[in-house]
Amino acid sequence: MWPWSSDSHSPLPAHQFIVELFISGLLSVSVAGIAVAIETAETSVTTSPDQVLRTLVPGHPRLIAPQGAEEHVRQLLQRDPTARDIFQAVQQAGNQILTEPPIRHRLIGPRLLDQSRRCLGRIYTLATLYRLTGDAKYAERAVVEMRTAASFPDWNPSHFLDTAEMTHALAIGYDWLFDYLSAEDHQAIRTAIVEKGLREGEKVYRRGGWWSTTAWNWNQVCNGGMALGALAVAEDEPELSSFIIASAINSVPRAMASYAPDGAWAEGPGYWNYATHYTVFLLAGLETALGSDFGIGQSPGFSVTGDFWMHVIGPTRMSFNFADGGSRVGHAPCMLYLAKRFDRPVYAWHQCDYLRGREALDLWWYDPRGDGFGNEATAKWFRGADIVTLRTDWTEDVIFVGFKGGDNAVNHSHLELGSFVLDANGERWVLDLGSDDYNLPGYFGKQRWTYYRLGTFGQNTLLVDSQNQNPRAKAPILAFSDRPEQLFAIADLSAAYAPQSAEKSASQPADRVLRGIAILDHRVVLVQDELNGFDGRSIQWQIHTGAEIELQGSMAVLRQGNRSIQAVLISPADAQFAVEKADAPPPQRQQPNVRKLVIRLNKQSDPLRIAVAFVTSGDAAGLSMLRPLDSWKER
């Protein structure tokens, strides 16, 4: 039995959650303490500093994997082969850490973040192994990391993610290894958490610093790290800890609102993983240390946010990596917490079996339920972010499309409205180049849209007059079908290409750009664009691919190894494909193995229709019968 679910795996009311913790032995509190915890958990009434620690569980460990959780995991290891596989991977990682030098105070650009994350990962791994095996070599190596971090001159509060993650790392080590630490280590590590972590966070909260008010990933990461640090040292620093915890509880709902209404994360899959992990760290820490998440976990959309993660990962195990993110899919142990919390076994299966997560938290949050995707929908429109995914089914060598509407002004966004990725036959054929080096000059400033991977030149969408899309534009999804025989979506890209100056008179027709993407006959992906109001302007259609390209008249054959698909240019009839390089000038990232398939249309007359069909099997016969996008939804 895991702390936040009953034996039937259904979500628990707050009072039952506390009682289950007590009965299972994972909390050791008095009957009076239980009563207070029940009152707080049921009412979620207070986040004021003077009351927030009323239900603090005494002793350590109490964060995320509280006292007694070890026995639960040991029992799993006796009976569950997947759990044993996870443990073996964690132990292998831990043994490797033993051979490596400790972290060091080294900034890359303005960031200490790689060292903070290395410390965090090492402490979770090593402390987990010590708690499960009792082998002191793992604890001692974790202590070396903590002593080293505690000796740093600072944790780089000017880039507060670094501070938050280092605070998180030492909080877990301090809490989980409390009985192993010497009195000298207690003092040094606790002082570092307070002075290098919590006091810096206090300054931000008191002045209303930006990460405490933003709606994006910095909010969860910084609040989560600060709250865990405060929960770890609460007995010794009650006033400061109360202030930090209450401030985090009051701040994080701003970011939680970004999950509404359906769990999507508009910063992209990579930042979904980052933000959601820290949301879960915060919730689990509050629950195990205080007996309540103060209602944060009930935020609209959060109970289904695991759907977003599942649906944006294609059959190639690559994500639809829009915005600043790579296509490589990291593990997401937070899916196991979400599976238990919201009774979604498919989330657990996706993490442990489909993605084969093998990290320390996969053990503590392990959930053996789930045996496949079941009746999961094959197409999904995430309305909050206007992201669409389409797939023929959930097996391996199927067609998958990720299609981007949404908002160019979202944090970490690229100028990529209308962009898409395509998987078929076990390969990714249309790819998103992802982010560039964050340390490039002006990457998050005035030079952002000059970089190839971020501007419209580097996207799988239309380029008009060789200009970027409007950075403030939105592209709503106008129509969507998830019926297996009729999978499609249509986005209105008009605002992306609207004049950004007063170059059109009021008497001229309004610009209109629509893009529709459909999967036909389980073997063809049709990309159809319709433009009005662009008479005399140059239009470029483009995709990026890692495939070799052979041009054959109005068809391009894309090959990767012994697999191939065809791109068939249906309209305009007199247009042609061309192949170009996709490299940008150094020091931007190079991609010599990526090619750009383009169609150039100069000074076209209105209206204009561009239609390209990607044929994944069979031939292209019968593809010339196009229907206007306005009629797609009538079929």
Written as one string, the DSSP assignment of 429-493 is EE-------TTSTTTTSTTGGGSTTTSGGGSSSEEETTBPPPTT-EE-EEEEEEETTEEEEEEE-
Give dist(CA 467, CA 530) in Å, integer.
18
- Measure the CA–CA gap between 329 and 320, rounded to whole angstroms: 10
For the cut 50, the answer to whether the pLDDT of residue 289 exceeds it is yes
Continuous segment of H or E residues that includes residue 551: strand 548-552
pLDDT, position 462: 98
pLDDT (tens digit per residue) in 564-587: 999 999 999 999 999 999 989 999
| pLDDT for res 319 | 98
pLDDT of residue 51: 86
Q: Which DSSP symbol is given to 318?
A: B
Q: Where are the domains of the chain?
A: 14-364, 379-632
Query: Who wins on pLDDT, 18 or 233?
Result: 233
One-letter-per-residue 3-state SS of 274-287: HHHHHHHHHHHHHH
Q: What is the pLDDT of residue 534?
A: 87
Q: What is the DSSP secondary-structure string of 362-430?
A: HHHT------S-TT--SEEEETTTTEEEEES-SSSS--EEEEE-EETTSTT--S-TT-EEEEETTEEEE
Q: Is the pLDDT of residue 44 over 60?
A: no
Identify the H or E element spanning 299.
Answer: none
pLDDT recorded at residue 30: 31
pLDDT tens-digit series, residues 487-511: 999 999 999 999 865 555 444 445 8
Tell me whether the CATH fold assigned to 14-364 matches the one assigned to 379-632.
no
Structure-token pair, residue 553: 């008249």
Confidence of residue 15 (pLDDT cuts 50, 70, 90): very low
Could you read off the pLDDT of 467-492 as tens digits, one per residue?
A: 999 999 999 999 999 998 889 999 99
Protein fold of 14-364:
Glycosyltransferase (1.50.10)
The yes-or-no verdict on residue 24 having pLDDT over 60 is no
- Position 511 scores a pLDDT of 83
Task: Using the predicted structure, report yes or no on whether residue 13 has a pLDDT greater than 70.
Answer: no
Per-residue pLDDT, averaged over 352-376, amounts to 96
State the average pLDDT for the chain: 91
Tokens of 586: 């150094």
CATH number 3.20.20.20 given to 379-632: no
**Which of 7-21, 266-280, 495-509 comes out lowest in average pLDDT?**
7-21
Task: Express each pLDDT in 334-357 by its tens digit.
Answer: 999 999 999 999 999 999 999 999
Q: What is the DSSP letter of 258?
A: G
> In 233-355, which residue ranges form alpha helices assigned H by DSSP?
238-251, 253-256, 269-290, 305-311, 334-341, 345-349
Q: What is the rounded CA–CA span in Å between residue 395 and residue 351?
A: 16
Supply the pLDDT for residue 18: 32
Q: What is the structure's pLDDT at 40?
A: 33
Tokens of 93: 């990682």
Reply yes or no on whether the pLDDT at 37 is more than 90. no
The confidence band for 45, taking pLDDT boundaries of 50, 70 and 90, is very low
Average pLDDT of the residues in 137-144: 98
The pLDDT, as a whole number, for residue 41 is 34
